[in-house]
Chain A
């Protein structure tokens, strides 16, 4: 059974069953990554295009490897080398890629909703690899996969997301996913970085990190975009770090076996202390590996995959 949809644009519109299907499909995919010969023929003859309008290392590489491990032909396009710099519209760029045979277009864009525009105009599948501060569905899926792998479940867990909630697509996708899967989600940020109406998404906002981290099972740290400070949303990086940096002392407020996560890239010493990032509770490297597995699962399911175990064998 594949996913009964053309595109993956966000977690908000996914059902619990769809999330479960993706996470289950990612398990056998992860086995492939651990093999000596990391290649299965599942997507042979399929063309997967990474269309990245924003710089990215891990997400782009992760999608590219996911495609390659499954024998798809993968192409990367970044804005600096595409016709975008010549003023071509998103719709025209998408159409051009499609008529060259793209089966899946993976798009990252600084404008929220860009993948939705593309999806409306293309018959190829579109995967949102992060749009503005709207959604980053594959990050949330890999985060949920990682939590489930470590904790055995999602339902009933307390998860705190710390940092720039206002401008974070990672936060939004995780909020939709985790709340759908029955976790209790808290968001921790200075009041100027808590978006209006956030509690209506089913989360509890905190401005005190000490209160917010109390007894949680997962601490999810967000990257602080350094330009936020210039917009006056908080006074200095120094003060932010002092009030909201995830330090070893603060992690001790959480459950003793709490996981520490970060979507990367990290600003060590700002939102996360180096000893926490490298500590025993951190699962940041596992997140990266699982990212490849989850993206393999998605590519497979969106291109109409059958039994995932067949795909592996």
Chain B
């Protein structure tokens, strides 16, 4: 079964390609990238005017399965990913039960194989039950394909446990993904601490809650030699900490979410709980610092922290709503509209942050590039296509997006996973 992607602009930074070319896919692998490739019985995907890129990987997604299927499932979450132009997602372990052993990692994998529309890469918990006490069976989880470990959503307050986890994970070369949030400093806050929290009468979350733990974990990474990946970086201070750490040669990478480079805390004044997210939407200065971090390479990855919740959970008073924004179906549009069009990132740099670097950090062989023999995971984006975000048309179960009604320019038009079109022309194919 052959697929010919014809006439698009191929952007493949790993192989140094940025030109109009055809891409031939054969048996799930890239078999040729050339100026003109004959059709020769292949199914043709017309790509004139489109960017043809190695499949985008969202390394921070909550698929909510098992246990929280009212919010999202592997079936719906991966379809949301496909609609958003992603060919792979790494899913966080804060499900019920927490993904903290081999059997549960295998459950995710078998579920994904059966019902998933895109590749699913499970992330294991750092500690048993994510309780922050005893290490989970990290080596065992790695053996069956866990790509990283993380305490996402339940930060490890005990520095000694984190130290041991990093030392232990370093043996397996697994990145430790840290959700940096000092819970004592959060002090029941629900939005960014500052002028707007004061005006809206909502409890604030200081930048220090993130920065203090980012500083701690960077120092632990230096001590242990582990690979630290800082999730959803949101403050100017954290960006600076990562910049300094990289300069010192510490093994640290970082990701930023589309909402943290697109929105400020002012928007919380609507009291729309779709704006309630953790870490919170920050000030304009922080947004600019995140963009600068993306531009200068301090921030390696754009990841969504896709955090689905039910309408019933979110349709309450601001204080009572759970934290979280769904991001899979708006990320590419926000990145093109907010970063590529204004010139913060070139399309090549965007591919680095949405495909090459996530593949590298998660150790995914055959992903993140379009070299001959690579997996045929391909994302097509029409950089001029406009679409208005409509949460009611999301493939995700959840609707908690503050971008409802936004017009985005630069929309994914196809997602190909292992040579299979899973989304084409804004329609799911699976």
Contact = CB atoms under 8 A, between A and B. Distances in A.
Interface of A: 12, 89-91, 109-114, 116-117, 131-135, 169, 172, 195-198, 200-201
Contacts of A110: 319
Given A109-B317, A112-B319, A132-B202, 18 more contacts: A110-B319, A111-B318, A112-B201, A112-B271, A112-B318, A113-B200, A113-B201, A113-B318, A133-B201, A134-B200, A172-B198, A172-B199, A172-B201, A195-B197, A196-B197, A196-B204, A197-B197, A200-B198
B195 A197 contact: yes
Nearest to A173: B201
In order of increasing CB-CB distance, the 10 nearest A-B pairs are: A134-B201, A113-B271, A197-B195, A111-B317, A112-B201, A195-B198, A133-B201, A111-B319, A116-B271, A113-B318
Most chain B beta-carbon neighbours within 10 Å: one of A12, A112, A114, A197: A112
B387 interface: no
Interface in B259-296: 270-271
Contacts of A196: 193-195, 197-198, 204
B315 interface: yes
A241 B196 CA distance: 30
Contacts of A134: 200-202
Contacts of A198: 198
Interface string B307-333: 000001001111110000000000000
A201 B199 contact: yes
Contacts of B316: 89-90
A240 to B, nearest CB: 20
Contacts of A201: 198-199
A116 B272 CA distance: 9
A90 B193 CA distance: 26
Given A89-B316, A113-B317, A117-B271, A131 B198 contact: no
A270 to B, nearest CB: 23
Contacts of B320: 111
A113 B202 contact: yes
Interface size class of B (residues with CB under 8 A): 20 to 34
Nearest to A172: B201
Contacts of A112: 200-202, 271, 318-319
Contacts of B318: 111-113
A103 to B, nearest CB: 23
A177 B312 CA distance: 36
Contacts of B196: 197
A13 to B, nearest CB: 10
Contact of B195 (A111, A117, A200): A200
Given A113-B271, A197-B194, A131 B201 contact: yes
Nearest to A132: B201
B367 to A, nearest CB: 43
Contacts of B319: 110-112, 132
Interface string B188-210: 00000111111111101000000
Contacts of A169: 201
Which residue among A91, A131, A135, A195 has the maximum number of chain B CB atoms within 10 Å of its CB? Answer: A195
A111 B315 CA distance: 13
Counting chain B CB atoms within 10 Å of each CB, the highest count among A114, A135, A198 belongs to A114
A114 B317 CA distance: 5
For B271, B315, B317, B318, the residue with the greatest tally of chain A CB atoms inside 10 Å of its CB is B317
Nearest to A12: B199
B315 A135 contact: no
19 contacts: A89-B315, A90-B317, A91-B315, A111-B319, A111-B320, A112-B201, A112-B202, A113-B201, A114-B317, A116-B271, A131-B201, A132-B319, A134-B200, A169-B201, A195-B197, A195-B198, A196-B194, A197-B196, A201-B199
A69 to B, nearest CB: 31
A110 B317 CA distance: 10
Nearest to A9: B271
A8 B204 CA distance: 25
Contacts of A195: 197-198, 204
A197 B198 contact: yes
Contacts of B197: 195-197
B226 to A, nearest CB: 35
B114 to A, nearest CB: 36
B201 A117 contact: no
A129 to B, nearest CB: 14
B426 to A, nearest CB: 31
Of B194, B270, B316, B318, most buried by chain A (CB within 10 Å of CB) is B318
A187 to B, nearest CB: 11
A201 B198 CA distance: 9
Nearest to B191: A112
Contacts of B201: 112-113, 131-135, 169, 172
Contacts of B271: 112-113, 116-117
A79 to B, nearest CB: 13
A164 B79 CA distance: 50
Nearest to A166: B198
Contacts of A109: 317
A83 to B, nearest CB: 15
B197 to A, nearest CB: 7
A114 B196 CA distance: 17
Interface in B216-264: none
A313 to B, nearest CB: 40
A112 B317 CA distance: 8
A196 B205 CA distance: 11
Contacts of B194: 196-197
B51 to A, nearest CB: 40
A116 B318 CA distance: 10
Nearest to B195: A197
Contact of B317 (A117, A135, A197): A117
A238 to B, nearest CB: 24
A111 B321 CA distance: 11
